[in-house]
Amino acid sequence: MSQVMGCPVRPKPATNGLSTKASCQNRGMQRSVFSLLLVCCLSCRSSPNSLFYINENGARNHAHFLACFIKTQITLENMTESLAAFFLRDLERLKKEVEQYHHEANLWHVAEGISNSGGNLVLHLIGNLKGWFGAGLAQDGYRRDFYAEWTQKDVSREKLLEEIEAVKQIVRDTLPQIPPERLKGSYPIPIPYPMNMEEFLFHLLAHFSYHLGQLNYHRRLLDA
């Protein structure tokens, strides 16, 4: 490390022949890939398939993390396909959570100290993706009713499962069709955050995983 005026100066990192712009783009891609790997593995601490699952001996699932890292070959060109795969994976997990309630009525049970029922969490996740992907990407005319997502009650398990399958199809029809060059542009409808499309898709995936973990906890706590 050289010195200037007695102060150490860190040498500039090698760019491997890349221009400054290309080097910055490469670092941006690395951050995107890291973000996607982190979000896709964070879904639910209680799931044995989760990166942060802790078994009965207190050991983390490092083997699953390594497998996840090796298998996930993400590039800018296949970013939307990878995101679609993770959304479909978590939608399938959402479906299984709904199916695993022993008593259907417990989907709508709210215990003391808990703000929302499991059923309303499901309605919220369905409405969120129908709004941002259906209305936003597919332009299918869906009109979101945010208030109903948290107040509607006693929707049948069968109806919830049908809605989840419908959202899966919306994901298949929209995300893989997004050209890579659009990811750095703005989302097609107004969003509440200063993000480009790529960043907002990551945000939606993290949001889904957050509520999916809440639903898992709700089911295990109130449907024992």
The CATH number of whichever domain residue 206 belongs to comes to 1.20.120.450
Q: Which residue has the higher pLDDT, 75 or 140?
A: 140
Q: What is the predicted pLDDT for the residue at 223? A: 87
Q: What is the predicted pLDDT for the residue at 31? A: 54
Q: What is the predicted pLDDT for the residue at 48? A: 44
Residues 46-54, mean pLDDT to the nearest whole number? 42
Mean pLDDT of the chain: 79
**pLDDT above 50 for 149:** yes
Q: What is the predicted pLDDT for the residue at 86? A: 95
**pLDDT above 50 for 20:** no
Q: Quick check: is 64 in a domain?
A: no
CA distance 224 to 219: 8
Confidence of residue 211 (pLDDT cuts 50, 70, 90): very high
CA distance 212 to 140: 25
CA distance 69 to 71: 6
Residues 176-198, mean pLDDT to the nearest whole number? 94
Structural domain for 176, as ranges: 76-222
CA distance 50 to 62: 10
Q: What is the predicted pLDDT for the residue at 12? A: 44
Quote the tokens at residue 81: 């396909």
Q: Quick check: is 29 in a domain?
A: no
Q: Which residue has the higher pLDDT, 179 or 1?
A: 179
Q: What is the predicted pLDDT for the residue at 56? A: 40
Whether the Cβ atoms of residue 175 and residue 182 lie closer than 8 Å to each other: no
Q: Quick check: is 16 in a domain?
A: no
Q: Quick check: is 100 in a domain?
A: yes
Residues 117-125, mean pLDDT to the nearest whole number? 98
Quote the percentage of the chain above a pLDDT of 70.
66
Closest CA to 1 of 16, 17, 13: 13
**pLDDT above 60 for 93:** yes
Q: What is the predicted pLDDT for the residue at 58? A: 39
Closest CA to 155 of 179, 195, 127: 127
Count structural domains, the chain: 1
Q: Quick check: is 113 in a domain?
A: yes
Q: Quick check: is 193 in a domain?
A: yes
Q: Quick check: is 94 in a domain?
A: yes
CA distance 80 to 75: 9
Quote the tokens at residue 220: 């295990």
Q: Quick check: is 149 in a domain?
A: yes
**pLDDT above 80 for 219:** yes
Confidence of residue 14 (pLDDT cuts 50, 70, 90): very low
Q: Which helix (H) or strand (E) holds 4?
A: strand 2-4
